[in-house]
A and B are shown apart, each in its own frame.
Chain A
């Protein structure tokens, strides 16, 4: 099923099937987390399922993804994660030490992010039915004061910021699977982006219009969703997009575009032009944000699409991902 890869098919499944049945008449663009009030107290809630093969890879494991991924969804919706609940679906016969390692990883990730894991559930399914382990995390948090994240507030001239180099996670996973026989000194970038989001919020909250964590489907998919949700164009400058050498090398060898590769420790932000420099400086000064860049701006045309231009005047449209990124030889 291509529907999990994060691109067009996923979007159709969510918007075409789930949203009308589950979310009622709301016409708001679907965000990374839901913000609402309970007895006057504002809360944010999100949930995410984590499926990865192999379970463990350079830079982390499924447990790390499960904690950081949910913290990040809350963060880019403009909320600080307070607590997580966890569900494990385990394949019968999964060695206990593997399970223990993941639980440790989750505890550690949660601890270093300052988030409590307050409960959960476990189910065991038949051997062969769960790729060893699936994890779901649901996160609850409190909205960050002063932030109003909404694609509809994005305006022409706003700047697009990226927190750091792209493609590390997706390429690490691809290489860790072993089928392609490549080796590189690469690690998943899985981490909580909350500190960086807070750094931007502290100095640029009034101008912070929209954020997203470009996970499956990469930066191209997230920005295409933005372009569609705000009805404007996203114009990127190719040479300002940070990509590590090893990611670039792997992408060139395999015929992949870094813009389509998954990230687990980065976020995109759209910031009003007058706040953009302040925001990027704050990011660059924050630990882990040294490679953040302004990578483009919001424009009139091409409406609903993402345009990438080269430093010598050529340009191309970058579409949303269709299915998983596949290596090619031609």
Chain B
């Protein structure tokens, strides 16, 4: 696969990993946060931690749009779709996320018309094909995905498709990073920046991190060579005591972002005054809602939203894991009451959630290492 395989070339991966070992100061412990859930997934999928020296610690950030959704929002979305005339359409990522009354897939088993879509435009297509039903699209994602939802709503309006609405749960990444940095338990040296969000927002929005917090950030791609090269770039900055925004993912990320995408978002969405994030609490100006001009396509205005607030089970430590304060296996429920088969929180369901990534790809390796070291 072009633009993919080159960035997985084994010999170059080995050599870049060696460069990291060479650069890392053995007397220092580095704490690097990868903000984006896609990077969390890549780290585990490619086994990148095996290539890093022990004194480089990767902390998983809150960039998993499914994980940060409070359970109540899932219940709200499902409540809106209880009407048998409504088709509930969502990405596959949402299907196993537990609401208080079950996940979308469980609702499907009980008779709700639940459809998996790959694109918001597929949800709109469902509306065109089913004129006597109403299609409600449960929209999630950061700024990577929001412009596509926005454009879809613009098309729905232009074509006067009225049997379509969006339940908008789009969130923005900068307030999440701010919340992490404001958190007293957090000690970080640098950030691996979200590559695909940056194709939309560009690299400028990160400048306050380097100015105010004096921590470097490298906007990174998702292939092994991308992430390793980003770590090399961060180590260089840390060695010299610098703090700059750098773009490692130049082949795809424009420094100024995507103007057309930002315009589409501005046309259709506005910032909510505040929004509740699982684990991070209420954050102001951190989520999007549909503008008045598109009210007719806003599920929250077309239907009655129960507005249920559901707290996580007391023992679940989703919040601390989300913030990177705890590693997944340090949560008391990890791998006991909470597994991918019966998840307590979204971090165990979403493929980007640190708990799922750790469980599916890692934790028996840790057990293996423990066996090896105890018999050594």
With A301-B372, A311-B10 known as contacts, the answer to whether A322 contacts B340 (CB < 8 A) is yes
| Interface contact B118-A326, CB-CB below 8 Å | no
Picked from A311, A315, A317, A330, the residue with its CB within 8 Å of the CB of B38 is A330
Q: Report A254-282 CB contacts with B as 1/0, cut-off 8 Å.
A: 11000000000000000000000000000
B4 proximity list for chain A (CB < 8 A): 252
| Interface contact B51-A302, CB-CB below 8 Å | no
Cα-based distance from A248 to B364 in the complex (angstroms): 27
A323 proximity list for chain B (CB < 8 A): 96, 105
A307 proximity list for chain B (CB < 8 A): 365
| Interface contact B64-A330, CB-CB below 8 Å | yes
A326 proximity list for chain B (CB < 8 A): 92-93, 95-96, 116
Cα-based distance from A317 to B119 in the complex (angstroms): 30
With A313-B50, A319-B360 known as contacts, the answer to whether A329 contacts B1 (CB < 8 A) is no
Q: Does B310 contact A (CB under 8 A)?
A: no
Chain A residue at smallest Cβ distance from B343: A322
B371 proximity list for chain A (CB < 8 A): 301
| Interface contact A330-B46, CB-CB below 8 Å | no
Q: Does B368 contact A (CB under 8 A)?
A: yes
A254 proximity list for chain B (CB < 8 A): 92, 118
Q: Does B312 contact A (CB under 8 A)?
A: no
Main secondary structure of the interface of B (DSSP, over half): helix
Q: Report B342-374 CB contacts with A as 1/0, cut-off 8 Å.
A: 000000001110000001111111011001100
Cα-based distance from A301 to B46 in the complex (angstroms): 19
Cα-based distance from A1 to B105 in the complex (angstroms): 9
* CB-contacts of B27-61 with A (<8 A): 37-38, 44-51
Cα-based distance from A330 to B354 in the complex (angstroms): 13
Q: Does B202 contact A (CB under 8 A)?
A: no
* B267 → A minimal CB distance (Å): 22
Q: Report B90-110 CB contacts with A as 1/0, cut-off 8 Å.
A: 011101100000000100010
* B316 → A minimal CB distance (Å): 19
Picked from A182, A304, A310, A328, the residue with its CB within 8 Å of the CB of B47 is A310
Cα-based distance from A323 to B356 in the complex (angstroms): 14
Q: Does B200 contact A (CB under 8 A)?
A: no
Interface residues of A, CB < 8 Å — how many? 37
Q: Does B122 contact A (CB under 8 A)?
A: yes
Q: Does A185 contact B (CB under 8 A)?
A: no
Q: Enumerate chain A interface residues (CB-CB to B < 8 A).
A: 1-2, 8-9, 179-182, 245, 248-249, 252, 254-255, 301-302, 304-305, 307, 309-319, 322-323, 326-330
Cα-based distance from A312 to B9 in the complex (angstroms): 8
Tier of interface size on chain B: 35 or more
Q: Does B117 contact A (CB under 8 A)?
A: yes
Picked from B65, B105, B340, B362, the residue with its CB within 8 Å of the CB of A317 is B362
Q: Does B66 contact A (CB under 8 A)?
A: yes
Besides A317-B361, A319-B359, A330-B352, 17 new A-B residue pairs in contact (Cβ under 8 A), listed by A number: A179-B116, A181-B122, A249-B1, A252-B4, A254-B118, A301-B371, A301-B372, A302-B364, A302-B368, A312-B11, A313-B14, A316-B46, A316-B361, A316-B365, A317-B360, A329-B118, A330-B93
With A179-B116, A330-B352 known as contacts, the answer to whether A312 contacts B341 (CB < 8 A) is no
Most buried by B among A180, A245, A307, A328: A328
Chain A residue at smallest Cβ distance from B359: A319
Cα-based distance from A2 to B109 in the complex (angstroms): 9
| Interface contact B352-A317, CB-CB below 8 Å | no
* CB-contacts of B272-295 with A (<8 A): none
B119 proximity list for chain A (CB < 8 A): 181
Q: Does B258 contact A (CB under 8 A)?
A: no
Cα-based distance from A317 to B359 in the complex (angstroms): 9
Q: Does B13 contact A (CB under 8 A)?
A: yes
A179 proximity list for chain B (CB < 8 A): 115-118, 122
